[in-house]
Chains A and B, each alone.
Chain A
Amino acid sequence: MSKKILAFIEQREGKIKKSSFEAVSLVSKLAAENGFEKEIATIGNEIENLSEAAKYGVEKIIHFKNKNLADYSPSAYSEILSNYIKENSVDIVLFSNTSLGRDLAPRVSIQVESGVIVDCTKLIFVDGDFIATRPVYAGKAFVEVKLNTPRKIFTLRPNIFKAVLDQNAANANIKTVEVNSSNVKTRVVSFKKSEGKLDVAEAEIIVSGGRGMKGPENFKLIEELAETLNAAVGASRAVVDAGWRPHSEQVGQTGKTVSPSLYIACGISGAIQHMAGMSSAKYIVAINKDKEAPIFSIADYGIAGDLFEVLPKLITEIKKLKS
């Protein structure tokens, strides 16, 4: 009997998140290569773009629906999903390693008696077993890990696996199951949105500032460059600890580990714990007065100059390009 693989996809405010499509693509690929049965599960109320998920190569979608489940409830979501996995003998479950995925996957793993490996940057199936690769020590090292349990759960680091549209994809076959939501002992009751800001954990481009910015007021340069590039604002630990920027922007070992396409480090010297958190960015730009700064050792492009002179010019040039 072929193995069953499932992608759990995540909705927020009734829309499926982009990183969920990365999980669908990987499920589709693993199923094609190894003859697995593939499907998608999601939980929420109305979901406007659910059928879009099928375009990434998995048409069978089950939607557990209830108006009280529009927002995340760890207790209800884990129970509903775990029951489905057990009743349908699902062998492999993939989540995106978002705040929700990382919260939910380990809970489900206990309920379905499976091991779980989180934050995978590579996942392959060889000789009948999965090998997951993931960063440890904030990316200072990597491990290859196997699960000993028959059932397997993995969460995928966003922005690493590609969401690939499948040209031969069939139309979505959505099965909607009305569920009761009695187990909402733990539930989200409201959301406080950060004012119009992109989050470093999800951004394609990050513009980050460090102590070289000399003061919180100068971060308007960082913010302007970020806005021009539709990028998120990041910060080093030093400036977060100094109270210049909120912790939610901190990149590094005690902040967020990020993998954007482009990381622009301004006035950041490159402490080991900062570099651990961003060195997997595809391209790194460093702007720093000190040409000996460690950040230049990992930067693809550098300008060893005064950022207060370089940044305004960079903003102007990029604005020119975008207009």
Chain B
Amino acid sequence: MKIAVCVSHVPDTATKIKINSTGKSIDPTGVTFVVNPYDEYAIEEALKSREKFGGEVAVVSVGGEANKETIRKALAMGADNGTLLKDDNDRDSYAVAKALADEIKLSGCELVFFGKQSVDYDNSITGQLTAEILGYSCITTVVDLKIDNQKVIAEREIEGGREVVESELPIVITAQKGLNEPRYASLKGIMAAKKKVIVEKPASSVDNVSKIIKMYNPPAKNPGKILGTDSSAVPELVRLLREEAKVI
């Protein structure tokens, strides 16, 4: 089976976010970029699917040169080949999805994994958009996946429980934490990944459908009151929650 996994290269979640001088995006100075955490579950599931069905796992990413680090990480975990759809300009989810859909159509992958969201813009829509553009089925925030012949049965996490969803190939699956335990890249894998060629081609040309006017940090909250250091402060806390905050 031809399998694809789409990955993004994002600031580490421990990073403080500073806004750059344009006031429209972040200042990347001193920021460590990593594989999007949810994409690790997507990569693992792609590798597990290959173990079961055979075939190849293609890693695809849209962005600048730096995204090669993330592609390389997926190759080190065991993916077979990598493609960077290059564009140094900021793309919105739609423009990313269009570039990915064009590439997936070309490669003929029928099982496509995404992380359920990128922890930068937090849109969590690129998987659904890509699937719709391709005319593929799509199941999002998946925590359990079974594929048998053309049939797909997945569990997706929603408010208050899990939905069991049936669908069929070709399909886009977006991975939620809990789907699996991502493997660590072995030393052998890391060495092998260094030798693999990452194909680079321009991302298909398409206009963004949205425009960021402004990016800003939320106003700092004023630190509140420390009411005490033991349970004698509890009655005052309860009074404040009831009378001042009016939340209980």
Residues of A within 8 A of B (CB): 71-72, 74-75, 78, 98-100, 102-103, 105-107, 109-111, 114-119, 131, 135-149, 185-194, 197-199, 201-202, 205, 229, 246-248, 250, 253-255, 257, 261-262, 271-273, 276, 279-280, 282-285, 291, 296-306, 309-310, 312-314, 317-318, 321
Contact = CB atoms under 8 A, between A and B. Distances in A.
Interface stretch (B56-64, B77-85, B128-136, B194-202): B128-136
Interface string B223-235: 1111111110111
Interface in B192-230: 207-218, 221, 223-230
B45 interface: no
Instruction: Name, among B122, B215, B227, B228, the residue most crowded by chain A CB atoms within 10 Å (CB to CB).
Output: B122
A193 B223 contact: no
A145 B129 CA distance: 18
B231 to A, nearest CB: 4
Contacts of B162: 191-192, 194
A227 B217 CA distance: 35
- The majority secondary structure among interface residues of chain B is mixed
28 contacts: A71-B163, A74-B138, A99-B158, A106-B93, A115-B94, A118-B123, A119-B122, A138-B122, A141-B19, A141-B215, A143-B214, A144-B214, A147-B211, A148-B211, A191-B161, A191-B162, A199-B159, A202-B160, A279-B221, A300-B224, A302-B225, A303-B228, A304-B226, A305-B231, A312-B231, A314-B238, A318-B248, A321-B248
A272 B14 CA distance: 6
Interface string B128-170: 1101110001111100000000000001111111111111100
B247 A283 contact: yes
Contact of A299 (B26, B223, B242): B223
A202 B140 contact: no
Question: What are the nearest 9 A-B pairs in CB distance?
Answer: A115-B209, A110-B132, A99-B158, A313-B231, A300-B224, A106-B125, A186-B167, A106-B128, A140-B17
Given A193-B161, A314-B234, A137 B241 contact: no
B37 to A, nearest CB: 5
Contacts of B1: none
Given A283-B245, A314-B234, A318-B238, A118 B125 contact: yes
A108 B92 CA distance: 17
Contacts of A284: 224
Given A194-B162, A301-B225, 7 more contacts: A106-B125, A106-B129, A143-B215, A194-B160, A202-B159, A254-B38, A312-B231
Given A103-B128, A148-B210, A142 B230 contact: no
Assign chain B's interface to a size class: 35 or more
Contacts of A279: 218, 221
B182 interface: no
Contact of A110 (B133, B212, B238): B133
B217 to A, nearest CB: 5
Contact of A197 (B13, B122, B160, B240): B160
Contact of B164 (A116, A148, A190): A190
B102 interface: no
A1 B37 CA distance: 47
A187 B165 contact: yes
Contact of B129 (A109, A139, A247, A283): A109
B242 A107 contact: no
A313 B161 contact: no
Contacts of A143: 212-215
A146 B213 contact: yes
Contact of A303 (B128, B133, B237): B237
A199 B161 CA distance: 8
Contacts of B156: 99
Given A141-B17, A187-B166, A303 B226 contact: yes
